[in-house]
């Protein structure tokens, strides 16, 4: 979302600042201090838009928001990360203190909107979905080879272990089915299986290319908010097989994919077989998802909603300054 806002100059020209980098504690402190100094020195008319995830990000971004508010800047925060709900449950006071300095809080799903409103009833909370580039004329999924794509962190949180258990069942039913697994490996090592290639991390453009070539995208996660790879798939008319976590159900309610229970390898295999063996089913679901993506997840909607949030934040900051 942040790159889209800057690339399209939503709210005017923007500058992206890092508040954390990998490395020693001293290096991380230097980066955070530099970001804090930069915020304090900004003209008071500058709007500060912070993107917050969970864990240490909440404290860091809360500090920057607090400094921006003290120096009478307009402030907006976007809350990301599937771990945010768990962090709120563990550290509600820390999270509330961090968010309290925001003029407007943007979230990525209605569920996260409810969480923030319960945590901070006085907050102005607005759901804004991640934008996606919509492919105007994708190839029907049923015309593509029986290829499934998994793109994301290769670990148990994303359900890579469940997919590894399900895949032999898929190959038994669809002998020419293939699976491409892309993403950084964490605590789970994907086993060597027939028809599977494990390819490591790729950039976002490569992910777009992969899902455009696939008949189905699979993401059997145990925790998510609204994964970008699933939105990329809908934008490319590629049906999805996923779990009912976060706001994923919203992507399948018009027929753009199938949901399975968390950890259910047999159900996951059945859903994949349904698309990989039935070209017409893949095409129909792909078209439904494509239509949903065009209607609800375009850049125009994000831009307008963000501009409205910025205008509100600026009005509130001006009132405080006056």
Tell me: pLDDT of 76 over 70.
yes
Predicted local distance difference test score (pLDDT) of residue 181: 98
Residue percentage of the chain with pLDDT more than 70: 96
pLDDT at res. 11: 63
pLDDT given at position 226: 81
Confidence bin at 14 (pLDDT 50/70/90): confident
Arithmetic mean of pLDDT, 184-201? 94
pLDDT-derived band of residue 322, with 50, 70 and 90 as boundaries?
A: low
What confidence tier does 216 reach under pLDDT thresholds 50, 70, 90? very high
Question: pLDDT tens digits for 38-50?
Answer: 999 999 899 999 9
Fold equal for 2-130+298-321 and 141-296: yes
Higher pLDDT, 158 or 203: 158
Confidence (pLDDT) at 128: 85
Domain ranges of the chain: 2-130+298-321, 141-296
**Taking 70 as the threshold, does the pLDDT of residue 257 lie above it?**
yes
- Are the beta carbons of 148 and 160 closer than 8 angstroms? no
Residue 9: predicted pLDDT: 61
In the numeric block, which tokens belong to residue 181? Answer: 């697994």
- pLDDT for the residue 96: 96
**pLDDT surpassing 70 at residue 3:** no
Rounded Cα distance between 124 and 102, Å, is 9
Average pLDDT for 139-166: 97
DSSP at 240: E
Closest residue by Cα to residue 168 from 177, 181, 159, 156: 177
Q: For position 203, what pLDDT does the model report?
A: 87
Q: How confident is the model over 261-311, as pLDDT tens digits?
A: 999 999 999 999 999 999 999 999 999 999 998 888 877 777 888 899 999
Under the banding of pLDDT at 50, 70 and 90, the label for residue 196 is: very high
Over residues 142-165, mean pLDDT: 97
The arithmetic mean of pLDDT across residues 91-98, rounded, is: 95
Confidence of residue 248 (pLDDT cuts 50, 70, 90): very high
321 token code pair = 């300054």
Above 80 in pLDDT, residue 131?
no
**Is residue 7 scored above 60 in pLDDT?**
no
Instruction: Lowest mean pLDDT of 12-26, 45-59, 173-187, 306-320, name the range.
Output: 12-26
CA–CA separation, 13 and 258 (whole Å): 40
Burial class (CB in 10 A: 0-12, 13-18, 19+), 170: buried
Q: Model pTM?
A: 0.69
- Over 80: is that where the pLDDT of 147 sits? yes
First-residue to last-residue Cα distance in the chain:
32
CATH C-level class of 141-296: alpha beta
Q: How far apart are CA 65 and CA 270, in angstroms?
A: 47
**pLDDT for position 2:** 60
Residue 10, pLDDT > 70, answer: no
Task: Please give the DSSP secondary-structure letter assigned to residue 143.
Answer: G
CA atoms within 13 A on the CB side of 179: 28
User: Which pLDDT score is estimated for 241?
Assistant: 98
Q: What CATH architecture applies to the domain 2-130+298-321?
A: 3-Layer(aba) Sandwich (3.40)
Neighbouring CB atoms inside 10 A of 214's CB total: 28
């Amino acid at each position: 979302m942040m790159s889209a806002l800057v690339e399209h100059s939503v709210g005017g020209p923007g500058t992206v600042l890092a508040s954390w980098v990998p490395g020693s504690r001293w290096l991380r402190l230097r980066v955070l201090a530099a970001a804090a100094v930069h915020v304090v020195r900004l003209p008071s008319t500058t709007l500060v838009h912070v993107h917050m995830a969970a864990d240490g990000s909440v404290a860091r971004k809360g500090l920057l928001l607090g400094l921006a508010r003290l120096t009478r800047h307009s402030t907006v925060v976007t809350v990301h990360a599937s771990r945010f709900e768990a962090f709120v449950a563990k550290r509600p006071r820390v999270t509330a203190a961090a968010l309290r300095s925001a003029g407007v809080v943007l979230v990525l799903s209605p569920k996260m909107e409810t969480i923030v409103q319960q945590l901070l009833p006085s907050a102005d909370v607005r759901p804004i979905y991640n934008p996606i580039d919509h492919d105007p004329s994708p190839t029907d999924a049923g015309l593509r080879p029986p290829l499934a794509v998994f793109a994301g962190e290769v670990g148990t949180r994303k359900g890579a272990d469940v997919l590894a258990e399900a895949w032999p069942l898929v190959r038994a039913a669809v002998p020419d089915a293939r699976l491409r697994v892309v993403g950084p490996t964490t605590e789970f090592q994907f086993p060597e299986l027939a028809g599977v290639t494990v390819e490591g991390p790729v950039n976002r453009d490569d992910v777009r290319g992969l899902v455009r070539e696939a008949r189905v995208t699979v993401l059997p996660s145990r925790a998510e908010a609204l994964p970008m790879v699933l939105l990329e798939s809908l934008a490319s008319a590629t049906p999805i097989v996923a779990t009912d976590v976060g706001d994923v159900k919203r992507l399948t309610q018009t027929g753009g994919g199938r949901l399975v229970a968390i950890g259910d390898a047999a159900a996951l295999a059945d859903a994949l077989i349904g698309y990989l063996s039935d070209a017409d089913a893949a095409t129909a679901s792909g078209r439904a998802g494509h239509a949903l993506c065009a209607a609800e997840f375009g850049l125009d909607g994000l831009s307008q909603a963000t501009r409205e949030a910025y205008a509100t934040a600026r009005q509130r900051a001006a009132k405080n300054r006056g």
